[in-house]
Structure 1
């Protein structure tokens, strides 16, 4: 028996050598610091490795698929052809963190075919950038195979170190979890399996959601995510804590025995690893947007990045309500003993926000609770047909409100709470978007609170991925931009469809108002900046000045200083930024309000000056139109001093710098509103030391003289 094996082993070795000579299986980044190797093992299984600065960071990691209607596709492969190429372009963001984006990578395309009787073909494409890699599968058109019912995708990331990991559980329905910081070997997502939040959550595996960010002992920083998520299921990453291995775990459905259904030919989303030797470069990376296709919408100048106020925070505080407090029966409104004057979205109240916005350089007003149906949807199993998205409550005169807003130079932002009743929303989208177009509304905040209807679907499965994307694509036809809440994660589609402007997809500011667990801790946002924000813009709703809100909810508060609330306008990026607090709280604090009036939302350049994941971060951004600079810095629960070098400023320009910083006794809990404001003259040669209180921050406006 041993004698018979020798020719087989020699044949395999000869075949492997022949393969390496014939085909390109290695690729490096343009700066040669990132290297990818691809190969097949003895069984014909495809695998890859990744090196960074001559160190293996992803060891032999295997690739493949399982199907419900076909044999698994994972071995018995032969390499038919490999093609290497280089691509280098600079493209322009219509809005964003910067104007020009360099898209420079080396590409390796591998064409595989099974040696077994089915002879199925599968292509793998690797793109290697200076800031990481992306790879995806391509299922080419082929005889005898027209439909793939994917039971699971087996993509591995076999790590070589027990990284410090910043993660949230691989929930199929929400991303609204606090981040955990553990070693990779200590990830325990199943401890949150019984977590109840907004009546929806499902965590079936010890898996994490992406982006998941890791820091190595030598300072290597990795973040795992995906790009261009189209007509596919969202990917979580199952954690093998013993072997330090991540494996793709697609979000499924209770209604099918497969997780993805696609007709050939098709491509999967890109599987991505952002790689750097420091934390700031993770934020500066444009890997995710670069892996998406160019703009398909053309001119989107009808959308203007803006700050906005709105009827929102007051409802979380309990000052007002979304519902009208009465019900409609055969066109007659009947008092049900409900809200009785607490309805927030009334004409008079919205006009108050319009006046405030017009006075304070704020371009928009969000109106939640304007349309009928709010009395009926919470707690009802069948929520289809509850909202119609065009009928206002009797106390909201939409004609008068939009007329008044236009007169004042302010745009009304529409709100569509779908209650996760997707069929109702899909049927009414044209009508709803047409109403917006009629009134000159160009932005909508959509919501998907509740378990998805039809029953058995999850927020992050293929059904909902298509729903979210199709809603945005249809909205573009009506010149409407979408800010989705309870969304599918951002994967860079804002490049292809620039009307996808922002989204929630994290535990937001509202948790401070009504969470029973103490709200978002001071470390939350210094983690978010290096995790969730790597995926794309965040509608976090900053700017809370009445931090303790004793008047409404004495047992709740925001766990930051007021200086950090200002810094968030620079640190947490979005092309729409809410001044979320009540009008009366801003009017009582004119000094910090001035920063909100001044700060930009659309940027020419972004510089991440310093930072460590979960600890602190400082970001400088240059406004597109004015070329003024703004700086924001935040810290966790630890007070610290941050030195700022202003060498990023334009040469031969003098700036008036207004510095909003924590006062000497400031503390996120003990004294959050202690704020000092200082005015200095600064140039490119200037330097500054800023003392940040626990849970604190600083914000600087640099206005050209």
Structure 2
């Protein structure tokens, strides 16, 4: 393996209006250059081999209080170091992660008074670059406000891009595939806050015509707003845009402080983007003293039946209720409340029968009658159940069956209310043996004027993960900011939603068949997603014909199985209703068998927007699982099993699309076959349109 480490040290001096020779660092094929342009402003550029990845691009911070770092800056010095270490995640896609990088710290200073100082720290990996701004402790700069960041990612050509609008309050969009010059969010119906016409979210996935795959995102998002990207359709340049606070500024900071890492993952092979650990490596190790209480798991729950209009979250249909003083026992029940004791017991029985660890219950607590869209401060108290939900009885019933209940906290966007009540809510969880909580942030944020992806909310999400960790509780966050690898720091933060999940198939135009082939290259680059796979009743009219007319999941049943492997999460939901699974127990066997924690992961084939085939080895076992999915096009995938242990025989159970299956016309047609295989075997999988295949591989003793 070729490894280079080149460095040219620039002398300090006045910021003359001329370009300077670059500082250069290289590791394998990735080469970084840092310099100043003719205006004396700091710049950087990245190459992969001989190919440009990011051409000369500006660096800088614009401050709201006094001279910022948006003009000429002197380079006063630099330091370098080489790091090569390994570490073991609490859970993850692999057992051991190598963290190998070459770091360059560049010291910058304003040439004029007050001579404020700024450092830019670069880490060059074999698969990309991460960099961040660091503001050291210094006279005359203690508290400061970042108005905007001036970071650029100038691209050499009009790449193909996989993007969603740069909405400050929602990530729940279907992806658009277009050239950068064609990025335009105006035809897309806004979910929360309308994006600017050429503003997109990260992670942004790009493919060049000369065969490079480039992913732009960020790592370790702490005390700072999320970064969007403004696209220049004429030059293909990208410029950072920070989600503003209610005041219009971006971030309120105190030195010493640093920004999140800006990340560029690059390869000439698509699978190598998916196995990159660059973002995870740029996060801090966990501070939790113990982690043995963190348990990856599978669960079922009272959830999908509300989305398909078979049940409701609310107990009554009365609106305009006030939390304080309401006598909930006097309300007239609507007869459709899903979170009732009898129904929850049914899910507990199903979980116990099939070896699933937990049961999620949404709609168990009072307040659902009067919250959606009202921008109301106090809706939920997170400890008061509806009259038909017996907390103690269900706690005892679940414990007797060896199952745990999973808590649900919908904040209704009233985050100030949630923060006032968190300690009491988490005590309630501990008292009633809840080990994990699914949080939700549907609606406009309170404090009013703040955004889901702004600094205030970013701090809330991180505070919540830390506080839950102090209580030895796990969390799955929905409607939160998209992940940036913080599950290394907070390994109890098992998953987030932060993208368009499976439920959109139940009450919208749905997710196009290509959607799940794009998500690993975009949303999942920063961390696991709770996509809620496993829907078996693809056509939804049977649940409620009047309200579900024409609605369906846009995959085959076999593809729903494959998603347990291709969309990584340590907490996976078997999202359909028990009665749907009971009609297909032979296919449900794969959900029972598939692991959620892994020792090894191999991306066997991948192309964003088209197909993915992934193989994973179960934690502490010799079992392997394979998932293969396609977009709207049928295709054949050839799977070489050379990752299996040589000399061992395995039984392969293959769950595949049946002949004539397709996502739209015949989605529930599948076939199951078994055969003996070894490391020299090759399987040929025929994937239907919108389809997939799932394989379990178990050693023959």
Q: TM-score, normalised to structure 2's length?
A: 0.95
Match of 2:280 among 264, 279, 289: 289
SS in 1 for 2:417: helix
Matching residue of 1:8: none
Match of 2:214 among 222, 225, 238: 222
Q: Mapping of 1:334-345 within 5 angstroms?
A: 340-345=334-339
1:390 and 1:678 map into 2 onto residues whose CA distance is: 48
2:649 and 2:419 map into 1 onto residues whose CA distance is: 53
Matching residue of 1:167: 163
Match of 2:551 among 556, 560, 580: 556
Matching residue of 1:74: 70
Matching residue of 2:479: 486
Q: Mapping of 1:479-628 within 5 angstroms?
A: 479-515=472-508, 518-551=509-542, 552=544, 553-628=548-623
Matching residue of 2:118: 122
SS in 2 for 1:529: helix
1:418 and 1:204 map into 2 onto residues whose CA distance is: 28
Question: Following TM superposition, by how much is the alpha carbon of 1:331 offset from its aligned partner in structure 2, in angstroms?
Answer: 5.4
Question: Following TM superposition, by how much is the alpha carbon of 1:204 offset from its aligned partner in structure 2, in angstroms?
Answer: 3.4
Report if the CA contact (8 A) 1:79-1:110 is conserved.
Answer: yes
Matching residue of 2:10: none
Matching residue of 1:681: 676
1:70 and 1:375 map into 2 onto residues whose CA distance is: 49
Matching residue of 1:390: 383
Q: Mapping of 1:342-491 within 5 angstroms?
A: 342-381=336-375, 383-491=376-484
2:282 and 2:605 map into 1 onto residues whose CA distance is: 26
- Over residues 455-507 of structure 1, what are the superposed CA-to-partner deviations in whole Å (9 max), with x where a residue is unaligned? 11110000110111111111111111111100111000111111111000111
2:300 and 2:652 map into 1 onto residues whose CA distance is: 26
Matching residue of 2:100: 104
Question: Following TM superposition, by how much is the alpha carbon of 1:332 offset from its aligned partner in structure 2, in angstroms?
Answer: 2.9
Matching residue of 1:143: 139
1:422 and 1:570 map into 2 onto residues whose CA distance is: 34
Q: Is 1:248 equivalent to 2:236 in the alignment?
A: no
- Over residues 221-256 of structure 1, what are the superposed CA-to-partner deviations in whole Å (9 max), with x where a residue is unaligned? 000000000000110000011011000000002x31
- Over residues 103-128 of structure 1, what are the superposed CA-to-partner deviations in whole Å (9 max), with x where a residue is unaligned? 00011011111111211100000000
Report if the CA contact (8 A) 1:25-1:82 is conserved.
Answer: no
SS in 1 for 2:521: coil
Question: Following TM superposition, by how much is the alpha carbon of 1:76 offset from its aligned partner in structure 2, in angstroms?
Answer: 2.7
1:307 and 1:319 map into 2 onto residues whose CA distance is: 23
2:136 and 2:536 map into 1 onto residues whose CA distance is: 55
Report if the CA contact (8 A) 1:235-1:249 is conserved.
Answer: yes
Matching residue of 1:178: 174
Report if the CA contact (8 A) 2:14-2:74 is conserved.
Answer: no
- Residue 304 to residue 397, structure 1, CA distance change in 2 (3 Å): same
SS in 2 for 1:308: strand
1:395 and 1:317 map into 2 onto residues whose CA distance is: 22
Matching residue of 1:6: none
SS in 2 for 1:476: helix
Match of 1:28 among 18, 26, 29: 26
2:600 and 2:464 map into 1 onto residues whose CA distance is: 31
Match of 2:45 among 49, 66, 72: 49
Q: TM-score, normalised to structure 1's length?
A: 0.94
What is the aligned-residue RMSD (CA, Å)?
1.7
- Over residues 184-238 of structure 1, what are the superposed CA-to-partner deviations in whole Å (9 max), with x where a residue is unaligned? 111112333xx243xx233135211010100111210000000000000110000
Q: Is 1:695 equivalent to 2:687 in the alignment?
A: no
- Unaligned 5+ segments in structure 2 are 1-12
Matching residue of 1:275: 266
